[in-house]
Structure 1
Amino acid sequence: MASDKFTAFVRPAVSKTGWLLGLLLLGQYTGYSQAASRKYLVLLRDKANTPYSLSRPEQFLSQRSILRRQKQNIPVLERDLPVNPAYITQLRQTGAKIAFQSRWLNAVLVEATDAVIANVQKLAVVKGLEFGRSLSNARLEASVQAIPAATASQARKLGALEPLSYGTSLNQVTQLGVDRMHEQGYHGEDILIGVMDAGFLNADKVTFLKPLFDEQRVVATYDFVDKETTVYEDDSHGLSCLSAIAGTVDNQLYGTAFKARFVLLRTEDVASESRLEEANWVFGAEYADSAGVDVISSSLGYTQFDDVSTSYTYQNLDGKTALSTRAAQVAAETGMVVVVAAGNEGNDSWRYLSAPSDAASVLAIGAVNQTGQRATFSSFGPSADGRVKPDLAARGQGTVIGDPGGSIVLGNGTSFATPLVAGLVAGFWQAHPQLTAAQVTTALRQSGSQFGNPDDALGYGIPNFERASVLAESFSELLIYPNPFSDVEPLSVFWGEVAPNVPLDATLTDLSGRVVWQRQYNAGGVAAFALPNLNLSAGLYVMTLVAGDKKRTVKLVKR
């Protein structure tokens, strides 16, 4: 898409930008001061009689988002439709204050007193409340305020900085083979990366990001904490993460995709830790989807909250329970590659990864040092249901990054390993644009330094651009992954032998020959699809694929 049109569709004017429906404020947000006010994620029963249509996705998605789906044979589903405006009206009539809505969850974030939320729950259109309770106490500001300095525990969560007199990013780049990627001319051009974080303090002022802003490659910003469009006056953690992808300082720092475009989203409030921030993560991911983002980079994780009664247990990290995890899985299913930090709890009593890194289809990133050994703080897997986690690892101990004062420093944390891999994803996808998001994720996993022998410390190991590129060529044949598959890890099919625009017929049968699923896809340049969740019983199945004069039959195992 031409740059002038791209700029137009990321303008934050709700009245003229259909894809922002339900992502920015739904009307004037005016909080009120009663101590009993709480924020709730209200779940709605359905999307019946909605004015939006699956046949007109331009009502709520950008053209770039629609094209991303079409390229990957991903249909627009009912979950993509915005919340029914008539239901919003009913919620407002109770006195509830509306903040944001979620298409994917069919939910609305409201603020209400005890009496108001009781009336909300009596509405016929309301299914219930997420988690059955409030997400957090209301925290409203009359004006934008600076975030207080992070406590020691918050710094550990986000990744700590230490001064560096002079440093080089050579090791963290070559460790991933990104130097060879750059040599081949792939720097992330025309790839749109969404960075979701706690703030990007001074990002628009520091010299190491000057080319990014001079070239107007930050195409949209939004702050879901303070409900405003600017993101440059809050916490600096997102700035440091962004620098690992986009920074450019000769002889000191080059990001892994320093020519990419960016959407910068603030979803995290470092002054607190609550499930409200997970809800913000959902809204941010939906914003990224609607804007047409290709890659999400998020160095945020959730396990323990200020209200300990709402904290997760390790058993909750099963790929389908945590709020942010469910959103991350859907984000991947819309055709984005989602890259998230595994966490910095390897030395703590928690020890394990955090949400949303337990989602099946995301790349959860652990941290290594200069020699490729696991950083002692890097969180362990597996997921609670036994899947390999983390997925991959990158330099997270002594990572060369930038700080809000404009200096180049060293950082420690899976927070900083994550954007390095996100930049690798961007350049790799740029080099192999025929791939789907699921194929990109698969190729990078399989390029890991220990793919043949994954463990709970580094998963499949350190990915590599050239190894992944070799694997990308093999996708010209047939790849069905994973096998065995499960409801948590859905089956993806890629058949590169199919000529563009040749219909692909897919049929799944059980061993008795009974057809349990059947569909025809129109391959617009790549034959790829994901099997929907059919609630199949565990056992053996047979998939038959027919495209023109080509036919393939594969046995599959459902766990």
Structure 2
Amino acid sequence: MFFISSSFAQNKYYIYFKDKGITANQSLNKFSIKYQEALENLSERSIERRIKNMGEEKIITYEDLPIQQHYINDLITLGIKIENRLTWFNSVTAYLDESRENILLTLPFIDRIEPVRVFKFKKEEIIPTNYLVKESSSQDQINYGSSFTHLNLSNIPQVHAKGINGNGIIIGILDSGFKWKEHESLINANVIDEYDFIFKDSITSNQAGDQSNQHDHGTVVFSVIGGYKDSVLIGAAFGSSFILAKTEDMRSETHVEEDNYAAALIWMESLGVDITTSSLGYSEFDDSVFSYKYSDMNGKTTIVTKAAELAFQRGVVTISAAGNEGNTSWFRIVAPADGFNTIGVGAVNQNNILASFSSRGPSFDGRTKPEVVAQGVSVFSASAFSFNAYGYANGTSLSTPIAAGVASLLLSAHPHLKNTQVRNILIETADNSSSPNDEKGYGLISAKKAISFPNLEEINNQYKIHKIFFNDIGVESNSVKFNYSTNGKDYSPQAMTFDGSMKFITEIPLLTNGQMVDVFFTYKDSVGNEQREPSNNTTYKFKYGELNVYHNLSVPVPYDYGILSQNYPNPFNNKTIIKFKSALVEPAEIIIIDAIGQKVKTLFKGLTKSGENFVQWDGITDLGPTASSGVYLYILKIGGKKYGKKMILLR
């Protein structure tokens, strides 16, 4: 080995290694040194969360195995300074010039080298104010001050009134920095760890070398979710604990590096975080040569999206801002909100009207985005300007911590929930879940609806159902019944047990896996009136043996992932055939959009037949002209869901 010196301009790169001592397709030995090292890198809290969500036998995957230390040592010997170690990607990042890059590519253990994308940081407008007004009602146990409006839109005060404040939940916040030790609303927050991924230390507030406004944005975001100052500002989940990551370098106007985000997620996950929230989306780039395109917003291309999805696979609820691109030429969602499981959050005003700046969906592959919305216009928050400064701010950066706060309240109320259940409940209980669209997704998020939505717990192959009721005049605890049916007609009532606090629980009788179960609840309020939930003679539904409960959303059909076929032929010239499956006769629509997201053809809109359906496209657009050569996306909308695939037209 020899030392590489350089005086040329350097850029940041991912250096990917070929293996981890074993390859990705080799089975893991639980007793191997590698496996044990991966386990030792996780906190007890992280292991517990993984066991709950992944199962005890699957908590370590190839991605978790440590990077070969002798590979890193060889790079250091060559004079390479390692910036971030990205275990999940078997990669490190470092600054290289072209000569260093070329030499590294000759090393036998290097798989490839790719540039780290650099993004433009867009901060929201903060409107300072010195006049604080109490807006909460006399019925509230907490004096919310000017934070009442944005919290009340998502029914958060009603949940706080039950004593649910996020206690027991760890939230990780990725942002520009946090002046939390020097603001009255944050100084008492339970911050259990923090790290600066720019300067590689534990200082997340401004320090020597930072821009003066470096920690402003993160302070605003943190206060919306975790602040607490009586009569002034209350955070959505003020009882939670927090892990803070300073990931965005604001010394340059265009210097937000995606590897810091990925490194922060890996770090947070290892510490046992339950929820991560980031209000900085990645879409506009410092160098157009290395830019992503809307076609890359497909849930599987950007590093930040891949990192968020890997965190989700490990049981973390991942939440991200949809972006503020609604008034720009980009218009669409930004990474990592394009992730398959990451909850993208859009913004509305206090009247639940979409903010014009809020990025729209769908993802490039046709999935509904954003998932939910919360207030992101005139949100009251702390300001880093001084110890007791506050202001109003606009942006999906503000709606996102509200949504993350709701997720924390839900998980705090029902700590047995898996992250897949949390995601399903937040979407199911949003106010537009029966007719989702590409502007507000499934709609306005509601803490009250989410926490009162029935949910399942599995213990040793036995299932329990949990239910919390919100009733202003109270519930007679001995009157609550769980009514279930396996044929949709004949219902069996079963008494539920009150836990002495707020929750009713009962064991579900042993049924056959896959059996559809219809459910409703009945009880008497404190004045003797009979009540039913859901109240409109509909039912909740679930498949026995599965954990998700449905009401407005459709229960997935068995061939969910094969419902839409790849067109044939593909590529095509004159015509192509698209096949899809339907479980019953139901409304459906197939549209075709081009590479920039513009609809060019409505190919089918009507009732399907039960079973296999097919349609044909001859390349003619709705406006009459023949479509030009290129990549197109065809999207099937059916059963409240969307499915999409790409096809290529060659002229």
Q: Tell me the TM-score range normalised by the shorter chain.
A: 0.7 to 0.9
Equivalent runs, 1:139-158 vs 2, <5 Å: 154=121, 157-158=122-123
Please give the secondary structure, in 2, of the residue aligned with 1:158: coil
Please give the secondary structure, in 1, of the residue aligned with 2:267: helix
Aligned to 2:164: 186
Quick check: 1:160 aligned with 2:138? no
The one of 404, 408, 430 aligned to 1:448: 430
Alpha-carbon offset, residue 277 of structure 1: 1.2
The one of 134, 149, 172 aligned to 1:171: 149
281-290 vs 343-352, which moves further: 343-352
Alpha-carbon offset, residue 35 of structure 1: 3.6
Quick check: 1:54 aligned with 2:38? no
Equivalent runs, 1:111-510 vs 2, <5 Å: 111-130=95-114, 133=115, 135=117, 154=121, 157-164=122-129, 165-167=131-133, 168-200=146-178, 202-212=179-189, 217-233=190-206, 234-272=214-252, 277-404=257-384, 405=386, 406-473=388-455
Aligned to 2:137: none
Alpha-carbon offset, residue 377 of structure 1: 1.1
Aligned to 2:93: 109
Provide the aligned length of Structure 1 versus Structure 2: 452
Please give the alpha-carbon distance, in whole angstroms, between the structure 2 residues aligned to 1:456 and 1:372: 15
Do the aligned partners of residues 443 and 32 (structure 1) sit closer, same or farther apart at CA in structure 2, a change above 3 Å counting?
Answer: farther
Aligned to 2:537: none
Contact 1:245/1:256 (CA < 8 Å) preserved in 2?
Answer: yes
Please give the secondary structure, in 2, of the residue aligned with 1:347: coil
Please give the secondary structure, in 2, of the residue aligned with 1:104: helix
Alpha-carbon offset, residue 280 of structure 1: 0.8
**Higher strand residue share:** 2
Letter in 1 for 2:101: I
Letter in 2 for 1:368: V
Alpha-carbon offset, residue 161 of structure 1: 0.1
Please give the secondary structure, in 1, of the residue aligned with 2:200: coil
Contact 1:274/1:307 (CA < 8 Å) preserved in 2?
Answer: no
The one of 78, 97, 100 aligned to 1:94: 78
Please give the alpha-carbon distance, in whole angstroms, between the structure 1 residues aligned to 2:311 and 2:5: 33
Quick check: 1:71 aligned with 2:55? no
Please give the alpha-carbon distance, in whole angstroms, between the structure 2 residues aligned to 1:316 and 1:282: 17
TM-score (normalised: structure 2)? 0.64
Contact 1:246/1:258 (CA < 8 Å) preserved in 2?
Answer: yes
Please give the alpha-carbon distance, in whole angstroms, between the structure 2 residues aligned to 1:369 and 1:253: 18
Do the aligned partners of residues 342 and 135 (structure 1) sit closer, same or farther apart at CA in structure 2, a change above 3 Å counting?
Answer: closer
Equivalent runs, 1:524-539 vs 2, <5 Å: 538=565
Please give the secondary structure, in 2, of the residue aligned with 1:210: coil
Letter in 2 for 1:419: P
Letter in 2 for 1:69: R
Please give the alpha-carbon distance, in whole angstroms, between the structure 2 residues aligned to 1:229 and 1:121: 34
Do the aligned partners of residues 134 and 352 (structure 1) sit closer, same or farther apart at CA in structure 2, a change above 3 Å counting?
Answer: closer
Please give the secondary structure, in 2, of the residue aligned with 1:348: coil
Letter in 1 for 2:98: D
Alpha-carbon offset, residue 113 of structure 1: 3.1
Alpha-carbon offset, residue 87 of structure 1: 1.6
Alpha-carbon offset, residue 119 of structure 1: 1.6
Alpha-carbon offset, residue 193 of structure 1: 0.6
Contact 1:193/1:296 (CA < 8 Å) preserved in 2?
Answer: yes
> Higher relative CO (CA 8 A, sep ≥ 6), structure 1 or 2?
1
Query: Cα RMSD between the aligned structures?
Result: 3.3
Please give the secondary structure, in 1, of the residue aligned with 2:89: coil
Please give the alpha-carbon distance, in whole angstroms, between the structure 2 residues aligned to 1:335 and 1:497: 25
Q: Computing the radius of gyration over CA atoms, which structure comes out larger, 1 or 2?
A: 2
Contact 1:320/1:326 (CA < 8 Å) preserved in 2?
Answer: yes
Letter in 2 for 1:186: I
Contact 1:342/1:353 (CA < 8 Å) preserved in 2?
Answer: yes
Letter in 2 for 1:102: L
Alpha-carbon offset, residue 36 of structure 1: 2.5
| Percent of matched pairs sharing the same residue | 32
Please give the alpha-carbon distance, in whole angstroms, between the structure 2 residues aligned to 1:134 and 1:391: 28
Letter in 2 for 1:106: N
| Structure 1 runs of 4+ with >4 Å offset | 49-52, 134-137, 273-276, 474-478, 496-499, 526-529, 535-542, 556-559
Please give the alpha-carbon distance, in whole angstroms, between the structure 2 residues aligned to 1:437 and 1:32: 48
**Higher helix residue share:** 1
Per-residue deviation, residues 269-326 of structure 1 (Å, max 9, x unmatched): 1344768611111001101111100010100111111212222211111111111111
